[in-house]
Structure 1
């Protein structure tokens, strides 16, 4: 898998020291893309339990990030792929997805849950819609946004 070129103006950090991350900024970016109801402390804990993380900075400011949750061999999931709306359209999301996915070549199953409306983006990167995936909805919003109508 060939990765897209890194944008020369940005700093890319794979698996950085997570104690140095500005978790309030990460929480702010979640809110800016309307993924609300997240707390900085919970986000930090989730990232620390992840298999792999990737943060992209402009100067000292986080502008994009993503992570992988995996068991080391069989199952992995890309999660929390987020790009600051002011930086979208510059290839950062593409780089995040491709870079994280490139670390998972020997896994049997790699999946992700796309945000509503992001289908086309993932399909252009080669992702396929899975016919056998299921979700246990955690409330009416997930039921509405992520589930087929009965």
Structure 2
């Protein structure tokens, strides 16, 4: 499958973004919150197949030397075809001059390792939902 890659938010179905993130077990919010986050991001990537959005991701960045990747997801029925890798490579190509951080869903660390990411020893977080993030295994 060769998806179409788009680097803008034109025509995005924000309800589908929210629903996909919920379905794959990631943090999700109201559609308009996702729209605000993606539109404020340095880099956005949306994959389409037959005019339907099938995956997405984004990076925030200062544009100089730091970036962070968020919300990388592929609709479940399209997983297993290398589309997550396609999204990540597209994002990383736009911030190739930057140090890049992310936090992965539990169990997805091997995927990010395959892209060159390594575990950080000094990572810290100040989450709004402290207990929930600890229960999910993100913090101690």
2:90 to 83, 99, 102: 99
Structure 2 unaligned blocks of 5 or more: none
1:87 to 75, 78, 91: 78
Q: In the alignment, which residue of structure 2 is the partner of 1:3?
A: none
- What is the RMSD of the two structures over their aligned residues, measured on CA atoms? 1.4
Corresponding pairs, count: 138
TM-score by length of 2: 0.91
Partners in 1 of 2:125 and 2:39 — Cα distance? 24
How many Å apart are 1:141 and its aligned residue? 1.3
How many Å apart are 1:143 and its aligned residue? 2.0
Structure 1 unaligned blocks of 5 or more: 1-6
TM-score by length of 1: 0.85
Partners in 2 of 1:77 and 1:122 — Cα distance? 13
Q: In the alignment, which residue of structure 1 is the partner of 2:4?
A: 11
Provide the secondary structure at the position in 2 that maps to 1:20: coil
Partners in 2 of 1:134 and 1:80 — Cα distance? 19
| 1:82-104 Cα deviation digits (max 9, x unpaired) | 01111111000011111111221
